[in-house]
Amino acid sequence: MTVRDDASRNGVCSARGASGEERILLAVRGARDRELLADLLDAYEVVVWERGREDEAELPEFDLCIVDMGTYSTLAEALAERKADAGDRFVPVLLTVARDEQAVAAQRLDDVPDDVLAVPAPGAAIRSRVESLLQTRRQSLQLALYRRAMDSATVGITITEADEDQPLTYVNDAFEEMTGYDRSEVVGRNCRFLQGDETDPEPVETLREAVENGESAAVSLTNYRKDGTPFWNDLKISPVYEDDELTHFVGFQTDATVRNALRDQLVHETQTLKQLFETSPVGIAVLNEGGIVVRANEAAQEILGLRRSVVLGQPYDAPEWDLVDERGEPLDPGDLPFDRVRETGETVKGFEHGIETDDERRWLVVNVAPLNRSDEERVGVITSIEDVTELKRQARERERLLDLFDQSQKIAAVGAWEVDMRTGAVLFTSGLAELIRVDPGDDYDLSDAFSFYHPEDEPRVRAAFEHLVETGEEQSVECRLVTTDGEVRWVNVRGVAATETDAPVYRGTVQDITERKARSEELERYERIVETTADAIYTLDGDLRFVLANSATADLLGRDPDELVGEHVSSVFGERHSQALLEAIASLIAGDSIKETIETVVTDRGGTERQFQTTIAARGSEDEFDGIVCVGRDVSELRERERRLSVLDRVVRHNLRNKMNIAQAHAEMVLEGTDDDDVRESAAAIERATSELLSLAETARKFSSALDPNVTERVQPQNVAGCVRSVVEGARLSYPEATITVDAPETATAWAHATFELAVNELVDNAVVYGGGEVKIELSVTEDDDTEQVVIRVVDDGPGLPPLERESLMTGRESPLQHTNGLGLWFVRWTVTNSNGSMDIVDNEPNGTVVELRLPRA
């Protein structure tokens, strides 16, 4: 390296020394510091500026100036002038400061320094700063060269804005020479002023379409100079994008009528290629034979996510970014297509891989072609790199939306159709194909489509479609559709005219409304029942105001149903009824039950007080109370009848018991006072009859709660196995001569009436009474998993139950010719029926009876 005190003799156009090395000007205090820097920067030509030489006319030429704080104030003005004189060429200045001077430098320095380096610093850091600044200078010199080249090019170059009428914003000297127009005459105008009578409209149209589409175009057309002379203009235009937005068009004009047309054409094509390379929205990179990126356009650096200075000189699989395959796994560099292209000379298209930089993954499609010299020697490859991340995202989004569409069709039981009247083709979506049960890939025409409708409904559907075609008005039809396997489904068919195309295309939906139709019909039936029932049915909102009332409610009050809507229940049925409803609602909200029953007194239209039993249930969801539904029944006559029956029951039972006790006492007196066998036999018969009547009355008293078939509050979960074992224990004590066994688990829980244990005890008593003291009785309890029931069986080996009596019990009614002798088995049957169970009686072979009770398992 040569260290010089003065380099002012070098030319002003270039700072390079005779050796061609880049020149660094050292303006640093201290010989030791200068010597260290000179040794460190031995790859460059170093020129030393010393204090005391301020009287020199100007600074020497340099590519980079390194100045310290001590000399900066002396050179600041000269450095600023040098930077200003350089114009668009970058003249870098690196300021070195001591670490304790950093804060002062940040506050006091102007914009002359391009970088500040705190010293002492590692040699690698100093070389890195120097090389970075020099690299920026090289680029600026190249850009300045391009600008000078455009101004001095022999081919006409124009730049127009992409907006509005594409006015010219720049023309070079060659354009002025070629057309005879001065720059001031054309800037702001559209280039069409060069056209004339002989201009062919076809290339003009090509240019117009290219401009509208933001595309490049190359045409040859006749233009006219300012003096009216025609000339052939080989014109090429290229769009210029900035941040993916079309901003300008670059035009290249070549006078094809001159002798040097070929040379100008080559220059023009070279410039065009450079422009296309730099402005291409597709990333373009050139790799040498070693796989190193030697050239890359701006789009390539954006795609790779790095500055061009970093991209260049790197292998394609550089550590600054990670490559992954289509599955997201690390990509082996050997799988990249570059080696294959270099080896075979064949082009590889559509190679896809992922690239990860800064925790971001993007997907690229790479096309690789061999790059040969004129002698066919391969010197590398050229590759286009396209970022398809958004396309892949859109593809995934389309797949997601298609899946969502398919799922929506399934959930909503809806499908769609499209008819193209030009071709007659009918398209079914997967949802409609599934509804009809056909293959969605099959082809159909209008005749096929109409054939799927029920024969009675097909004319109506066809007429609606014809009206849609004729008028374009939306159509909707409820009709029946017949699937390919013969099932009839109710559907709602809608149709509209497509608006985004001029073609006669019609689209619509077919929704399965079979369930809704059935619910609607069921609702209509319920409405008819509600309107025709004699019970008062009405709904109240959360504030106990009427929402709806049936005719029976209106008749009871002598008012129109619509008049009741909005009125508070207290003003209609009274405060006591309203308070009772509030208490019942509190119980419903607390979750004690799903419905509540109250009894209140209401006044009818005639002013008469009536006893009403009202059952209420909550409206709305489980989490939200929306009011109540009330069903009221006039039980005035029923309650009066019950009261009278209760009085009659007490009187009859009291008198019956008294009279039977008297009869029994007289029979005993007769037995004790006579020796006549006939008399004694008659007295004994009287005594037995009175005992049976008293027993019958006692049984009726015990089972009185089982007489009401509507009583459900006494049905509770019970361990029926425990009840059966308890009955057996008591029966063994009561009937020691009988053989009574039981086979039951520890627990078998079923829904049973409170009188269940009495019913089992009645079956055992009945078996002993009819079978004698030594009868054998077997009881068992099992769980039937198939029917979700608990089965209780009582088997005896007695004489059996007479067929007529068994038939009477099983049918549930008696007739003058078919009746039973006692109430016990009737009470058993009523107990089981009230438990929502069943009872069956069959013969036991060879002798006896089997009684089987089935109760719902709890």
Look at residue 200 in the predicted model and tell me its pLDDT. 92
Q: Determine phi and psi for 204, rounding to 5 degrees.
A: -65, -45
Rounded to an integer, what is the distance from CA 778 to the centroid of its chain? 63
Asked if the model's pLDDT at residue 108 lies above 60, the reply is no
223: Cα separation from own chain's centroid:
61
Q: What is the pLDDT of residue 7?
A: 35
Instruction: Name the band, by pLDDT with cuts 50, 70 and 90, for residue 482.
Output: very high
Q: Who's near 278: CB < 8 A, 6+ residues apart?
A: 297, 298
β-sheet bridge partners, residue 158? 171, 251
pLDDT attached to residue 638: 75
- What residues contact residue 716 under an 8 Å CB cut-off, 6+ apart? 751, 752, 754
Say if residue 149's pLDDT is above 60: yes
The residue that leads in pLDDT, 769 or 849, is 849
Range in 305-319, 788-802, 805-819 the model is least confident about: 805-819
DSSP string, 134-181: HHHHHHHHHHHHHHHHHHH-SSEEEEEESSTT--EEEE-HHHHHHH--
Which range is least confidently modeled, 78-82, 340-344, 459-463? 340-344
- The closest alpha carbon to 96, from 124, 71, 74, 78, belongs to 71
Average pLDDT over residues 222-235: 91
pLDDT level of residue 3 (50, 70, 90 thresholds) = very low
pLDDT 10s digits, 828-846: 888 888 889 999 989 998 8
- Helices 677-702 and 824-834 pack at an angle, to 10 degrees, of 10
* Model pLDDT, residue 2: 35
Instruction: Give the pLDDT confidence score for residue 412 in this predicted structure.
Output: 58
pLDDT of residue 501: 66
Residues 702, 705, 709, 715, CA torsion sign: negative
C-alpha to C-alpha distances, 520 to 257, 517, 523, 526, 678, nearest whole angstrom: 86, 5, 5, 10, 77
* Residue 855 CB-density burial (10 A; 0-12 exposed, 13-18 middle, 19+ buried): buried
* pLDDT at residue 406 in the model: 62
What is the percent of the chain where pLDDT is above 70?
83
- Counting beta carbons within 10 angstroms of the beta carbon of residue 515, is it exposed (0 to 12), middle (13 to 18) or buried (19 or more)? exposed
Q: Which of 153-162, 223-232, 284-293 has the lowest mean pLDDT?
A: 284-293
Confidence class of residue 700 from pLDDT cuts 50, 70 and 90? low
For residues 232 and 199, the answer to whether their CB atoms sit within 8 Å is no
Is the pLDDT assigned to residue 820 strictly greater than 50? no
Where does the pLDDT of residue 14 fall: very low under 50, low under 70, confident under 90, or very high at 90 and above? very low
Report whether pLDDT(646) > 70: no
Q: Give dist(CA 437, CA 458) in Å, integer.
A: 18
Q: What pLDDT score was predicted for residue 9?
A: 31
Please say if the pLDDT value at position 662 is more than 80: no
pLDDT band at 6 (very low <50, low <70, confident <90, very high): very low
Average pLDDT over residues 61-66: 92
pLDDT at 464: 92
Please, are residues 358 and 322 in contact by the beta-carbon 8 Å criterion? no
Three-state SS at 563: helix
Which carries the bigger pLDDT value, residue 334 or residue 117?
117
Instruction: Please check the confidence at residue 279 and state whether its pLDDT lies above 80.
Output: no
pLDDT of residue 101: 75
Greatest CA span in the chain, whole angstroms? Answer: 174
Give the least confident one: 30-39, 89-98, 660-669, 693-702. 693-702
Asked if 490 contacts 478 with a C-beta cutoff of 8 angstroms, the reply is yes
Interacting residues of 672 by C-beta distance below 8 A, sequence separation 6+? none
Cα–Cα dist 394/673, whole Å: 115
Task: Tell me: pLDDT of 641 over 80.
Answer: no
| Per-residue pLDDT tens over the stretch 421-432 | 888 888 888 888
pLDDT of 761 > 70? The answer is yes
**Share in percent of the chain as helix, strand, coil (round to 5):** 40, 30, 30
What is the Cα Rg of the chain in Å? 54
* pLDDT of amino acid 823: 61
Question: Which of the four pLDDT bands, split at 50, 70 and 90, describes residue 10?
Answer: very low
| Average pLDDT of the residues of the chain | 82
What CA–CA distance (Å, rounded) separates 586 from 571?
A: 21
Q: At 703, which amino acid appears? A: F
Q: How are beta strands 838-843 and 789-796 bridged, if at all?
A: unpaired
CA 28/CA 70 separation, integer angstroms? 8
Q: Give residue 11's pLDDT band: very low, low, confident or very high (50, 70, 90).
A: very low
Q: What's the CA gap between 363 and 326, in Å, rounded?
A: 9
* DSSP string across 327-395: TSSBPPGGGSSHHHHHHH---EEEEEEEEEETTEEEEEEEEEEEEE-TT--EEEEEEEEEE-HHHHHHH
DSSP assignments along 496-531, one per residue: EE-SS-SS-EEEEEEEE-HHHHHHHHHHHHHHHHHH
- What is the percent of the chain with per-residue pLDDT over 90, rounded to a whole number? 29
Q: How far is CA 335 from CA 290, 556, 581, in A?
A: 16, 90, 80
Q: Residue 651's pLDDT band (boundaries 50, 70, 90)? A: low
How sure is the predictor about 783, in pLDDT bands with cuts at 50, 70 and 90?
Answer: very high
DSSP class of 59: P
Which one is predicted more confidently, 306 or 521?
521
Residue 44 and residue 56: Cα distance in Å, rounded? 24
pLDDT of residue 106: 60
What are the tens digits of pLDDT across the range 608-632? Answer: 888 999 999 988 666 678 899 999 9
Per-residue pLDDT, 260: 41
